[in-house]
Amino acid sequence: MVATAGAAQAAATVQVSLWDKGANVPMTTGFAYGMSGADMSKATMGITAKPATVKAGNVTFKVKNSSKDTIHEMIVMYLANPKDPLPYIADENRVDEDKSGDKGEVSELDPGASGTLTVDLKPGKYVLICNVPGHFATGMWTEFTVQP
């Protein structure tokens, strides 16, 4: 059997975990994407994505809120310039989604809940964030790469 040149490529699947150290742990800030010198091992919240690099095309994010007591979300942001911080609304303690290349999201997930998002991504650098007020600055982001 010979594969045809136009055969559809399977979508990449990324397992995403939204985690925190618990509601009783004080939320420490200063861990937003683009901040230099932050010791991420001290972040009280975070996102892990496996794999962290996929091929361009349809990408399915299977997202699980691993928290026992906190609502989280996951938003895929395209980084036009990976060296620049995301636009931040300090008064609201969150990223300005309208100005930051939002490509799709799994909205607020209750503790233990899961959700799925499939998006067509072009090659480039992305960041996955939780934009519940205050969470991004506590370390709830991870870099994500899409290769040609």
Q: What is the mean pLDDT of the chain?
A: 89
- Name 66's bridge partners: none
Residue 1 has pLDDT above 70, yes or no: no
Residue 6 has pLDDT above 50, yes or no: no
Please give the share of the chain, as a percent, with pLDDT higher than 70: 91
50: nearest Cα among 148, 134, 128, 131:
128
pLDDT tens readout for residues 30-64: 888 876 667 788 888 999 999 999 999 999 999 99
CA angle, 71 then 73 then 77, to 5° = 155
> What structural domains and CATH numbers belong to the chain?
12-147 (2.60.40.420)
Can you give the pTM of this predicted structure? 0.88
Span 87-116, average pLDDT = 94
Residue identified by tokens 């998002």 is 117
Contacts of 137 (CB under 8 A, 6+ apart): 29, 30, 31, 32, 93
Residue 2 has pLDDT above 50, yes or no: no
